[in-house]
A and B are shown apart, each in its own frame.
Chain A
Amino acid sequence: MIVEIGHFALILGLAFAMVLASVPLLGVQQRQPLWMELARTAAVGQFALLGLAFACLIYAFIQDDFSVKYVAANSNSQLPLIYKISATWGAHEGSLLLWALILTLWTLAAALFAKQLPPTLKARLLSVLGWIAAGFILFILITSNPFERLLEVPQEGRSLNPLLQDIGLAIHPPMLYMGYVGMAVAFAFAVAVLMEGKMENAWAHWAQTWTLIAWAFLTLGIALGSWWAYYELGWGGWWFWDPVENASLLPWIVATALIHSLAITAKRGSFQAWSLLLAILAFGLSLLGTFLVRSGVLTSVHAFTSDPSRGVFILVFLVVIVGAALLLFSARAHLVTQQRAFKPLSKETLLLLNNVLLMAMMATVLLGTLYPLILDALGIAKLSVGAPYFNSVIVPLTVPLALLMGLGFAAHWRESRAGGLLKQLWPVLLVSALLAFVLPLLLLPDLQGWAVVGLFMSAWIALSALQWLWQNRAATNSTGRVQRRRILGAVLAHIGFAVTLAGITVTSLYSIEKDLRLAPGESYSIGDTRFQFVGVIQKQEHNYLASEGTIKVYANNQWLTDLHPQKRTYLSQAMPMTEAGIDAQLSRDLFVALGEKLDGAAWSLRIQYKPLIRWIWLGAILMALGGLLALPSGRQRRKESAA
């Protein structure tokens, strides 16, 4: 019964989405304010219904209702409660429902907090979000209905993929989706502005705020995925250039460019068309990511089923939505462009150059991800490009990106003088160069060229951001809260990027990774750290059996800690899983994973020493915090809308 209510709520939700997609638009055309205001009611109803549908599905999981096909395929009565709940979005159907639910949440938020936009623009924007919601709910109902019943009810469910039975993965999809789907607001804004045929600079502020929220979630979602892959997949890597990872990185890169482009539009009134194009592109790439992950063209942890009809639906949806937006853009972009003159050396130019670099990175990742898929689909060849391809292009592009970031902080709007820039930045330059040489000499085993480059870039970005903060201290005191929060947020986010960059540099260059064979009692040393393999015992847990190893770690012959890596076999699916044993510190991780049992009591072990790896995720958290800090608070929003 509950399940049928959920199904019905979803159908009713589709009806609301269709009203949202059409009535406010008609209202704009017919100049009917009441019709336009219906958008708000429709957005509320749509969210409430999708929320109800989702709650019903969670209820079916908690109750172990195996008469529902989706529950039977992805849950099990032995599963701990928390994973029964997270199993709701653990596979295709449920994760699409979560996608739609989050879209309606964003729509509701946009409906409630768009007071500074004129009513026609707001109505159009919400209608565009309504199209997307209608398309997605239709997709769920036609191809991937999570409420489908089974005629023969099984006694027990097939259980959740053991890889997904982890707290990191329970929160990774909702975070990532908040980011992915949040790009829909910027997209709808772009389309609405193009329909409107004019753009006011204040609106760019509004769009930037929404993009910042989505970007912050996307940053956290990507970092969570990376962290999870590190401790759960048992390889000790933090990024694999896997197509699914790339699919989340693509909208992130474009959103990063969009935030900066919107900053120029809001401040200086140029680059309107470019901003709108980026907004369309960011959501297009989010949809592409959804297509790649959900269509089964990829084989990875994330791709659960391959059902061609699903892929075709998303692809058609992608082409229609993005195609229509691009057509509108090509026809009407000239209406919104304004030209404000700026000199070749100015903040505008530097931001534009970084936008170009980010687009080059995006194109690199896109080519490496899509080209093999397209060749395979056309039956021409089966090939793949590995991490070396991505690294050899992205790394050299990051160097000018970082240099320009530092310059960008110091440069003035409209016009800067090279002499002035140099005069201002030479202390930063000197200190950064000094740090880049001295830190590796003092703290790292040897001096490597790329380490100097990487650390120089990190120091350069962080120090020039701090210098900019120092210069603006007067402004932050006088021009009020909004300005101050924006400045602090920007500085924090850029320092976060510098921290991530430093972490990537040092981890990539100075990690020590060793696969070896150890019998109980034998040791292996990395520098002053000695790993002694004690042995492996068998353990029985609630829903899995585990071989648990014990490794005693000594630093300078002082006992430091015991690590307990596991090899698990889940009872419901005869599938082995590796759980790494990790000793985490800010300066380094010690990582041990069990390989396999060899002859006698010997095991193969993977032992790794990973300096600064935590900085990669710490930096991401700082970036996200910086993004959220830059948002105007409630009181300021009211002030802005009143003004």
Chain B
Amino acid sequence: MSPLRKKRLYTLLLLLSGVGLATFLLLQAFSENMMFYFSTSEVQQGKAPQGRDFRLGGLVVNGTVQRDPTSLKVRFDLTDGAANVTVEYNGILPDLFREGQGIIANGRLNAEGIFMAHEVLAKHDENYMPPEVADSLKQAAKNVPQPQQATP
């Protein structure tokens, strides 16, 4: 092989290994940080993963919001109309968090089946319903025989 060709080959190899490394990093990071969405019914049925973060969506059930009097700890139930899951969160809730509102929480289940949220999201619009939550409500309403109370 001529020196020029050799050099070209090395450049090419360097380039390819760089691209390969980048692709590896990328896919690795992607699979580690993927968060799936689950409805409260799916969590009740045990479909949600243990020991891994996921997104949980639903409506905040009326009368379930309990605040700890000395800290920012707060507990509330989420529902899709068919099943409830209790969520615990330590921090400031978003401006539009209130009972009856559709929200999404990021976090994971603990051993008692309580969803420990590290982030609670509510969209900045009073009429807004996260599309995932709207879907879950529709899905749950289909599976439950008695008609659900429509939320205004």
Q: Does B130 contact A (CB under 8 A)?
A: yes
Query: Does B36 lie within 8 Å of A383, measured CB to CB?
Result: yes
Query: Does A575 lie within 8 Å of B69, measured CB to CB?
Result: no
Query: Does B29 lie within 8 Å of A393, measured CB to CB?
Result: yes
The CB with the most chain B CB atoms within 10 A, among A343, A356, A367, A384, is that of A384
Query: Does A363 lie within 8 Å of B92, measured CB to CB?
Result: no
Q: Does A95 contact B (CB under 8 A)?
A: no
**Segment among B76-84, B109-117, B120-128, B143-151 that sits at the interface with chain A:** B120-128
Contacts A356-B18, A393-B25, A393-B26 given; indicate if A299 touches B36 (C-beta within 8 A): no
Query: Does A388 lie within 8 Å of B33, measured CB to CB?
Result: yes
Contact of B35 among A161, A383, A400 (CB under 8 A): A383
Contacts A344-B7, A517-B72, A606-B92 given; indicate if A392 touches B33 (C-beta within 8 A): yes
The smallest C-beta distance from A548 to any residue of chain B, in angstroms, reads 15
Q: Mark B51-75, 1 if CB is under 8 A from A, else 0.
A: 0000100000000000101111000
Query: Does B130 lie within 8 Å of A299, measured CB to CB?
Result: yes
CB contacts (< 8 Å) of A371 on chain B: these are 30
Contact of B92 among A382, A385, A595 (CB under 8 A): A595
In the complex, the chain B residue whose C-beta lies closest to that of A363 is B26
In the complex, the chain B residue whose C-beta lies closest to that of A381 is B36
Query: Does B95 lie within 8 Å of A576, measured CB to CB?
Result: yes
In the complex, the chain B residue whose C-beta lies closest to that of A573 is B126
Query: Does B25 lie within 8 Å of A576, measured CB to CB?
Result: no
The smallest C-beta distance from B78 to any residue of chain A, in angstroms, reads 16
**Segment among A75-83, A189-197, A277-285, A596-604 that sits at the interface with chain B:** A596-604
Give the distance in Å from the alpha carbon of A595 to the alpha carbon of B72 in the complex.
10
In the complex, the chain B residue whose C-beta lies closest to that of A233 is B124
Query: Does B19 lie within 8 Å of A360, measured CB to CB?
Result: yes
The smallest C-beta distance from A75 to any residue of chain B, in angstroms, reads 17
The smallest C-beta distance from A271 to any residue of chain B, in angstroms, reads 15
Query: Does A397 lie within 8 Å of B124, measured CB to CB?
Result: no
Contact of A599 among B25, B69, B125, B128 (CB under 8 A): B69
Query: Does B123 lie within 8 Å of A299, measured CB to CB?
Result: yes
Query: Does A575 lie within 8 Å of B124, measured CB to CB?
Result: yes
Q: Which of A552-611 contact B (CB under 8 A)?
A: 567, 573-578, 593, 595-596, 598-599, 604, 606
Q: Does A349 contact B (CB under 8 A)?
A: yes
Query: Does B33 lie within 8 Å of A596, measured CB to CB?
Result: no
CB contacts (< 8 Å) of A443 on chain B: these are none
Query: Does A396 lie within 8 Å of B33, measured CB to CB?
Result: no
In the complex, the chain A residue whose C-beta lies closest to that of B125 is A575
Query: Does A604 lie within 8 Å of B124, measured CB to CB?
Result: no
Q: Does B96 contact A (CB under 8 A)?
A: yes
Give the distance in Å from the alpha carbon of A301 to the alpha carbon of B37 in the complex.
21
Contact of A383 among B32, B37, B71 (CB under 8 A): B37
The smallest C-beta distance from A296 to any residue of chain B, in angstroms, reads 10
In the complex, the chain B residue whose C-beta lies closest to that of A577 is B95
Q: Does A163 contact B (CB under 8 A)?
A: yes
Q: Does A239 contact B (CB under 8 A)?
A: no
CB contacts (< 8 Å) of B123 on chain A: these are 299
CB contacts (< 8 Å) of B126 on chain A: these are 573-575
Query: Does A386 lie within 8 Å of B72, measured CB to CB?
Result: no
Query: Does A389 lie within 8 Å of B124, measured CB to CB?
Result: no
Q: Mark A366-404, 1 if CB is under 8 A from B, else 0.
A: 011001000000000111111011001100110010000
Give the distance in Å from the alpha carbon of A349 to the alpha carbon of B33 in the complex.
34
Q: Does A201 contact B (CB under 8 A)?
A: no
Contact of B22 among A397, A517, A575, A599 (CB under 8 A): A397
Give the distance in Å from the alpha carbon of A385 to the alpha carbon of B55 in the complex.
11
Q: Does B34 contact A (CB under 8 A)?
A: yes
Query: Does A576 lie within 8 Å of B22, measured CB to CB?
Result: no
Q: Does B131 contact A (CB under 8 A)?
A: yes
Q: Which of B8-45 contact A (CB under 8 A)?
A: 8, 10-11, 15, 18-19, 22, 25-26, 29-30, 32-37
Contact of A349 among B11, B95, B125 (CB under 8 A): B11
Query: Does A386 lie within 8 Å of B26, measured CB to CB?
Result: no
| 8 smallest beta-carbon distances between A and B, as pairs | A595-B92, A389-B33, A382-B37, A360-B22, A576-B95, A392-B29, A515-B91, A388-B33
Of the A-B pairs whose beta carbons lie under 8 Å apart in the complex, a sample of 26, sorted by A's number, is: A299-B128, A301-B124, A344-B8, A356-B18, A356-B19, A360-B22, A371-B30, A381-B36, A382-B55, A384-B37, A385-B33, A385-B35, A386-B33, A388-B33, A389-B30, A393-B25, A393-B26, A393-B29, A396-B25, A397-B22, A516-B72, A573-B126, A575-B95, A593-B92, A595-B93, A599-B67
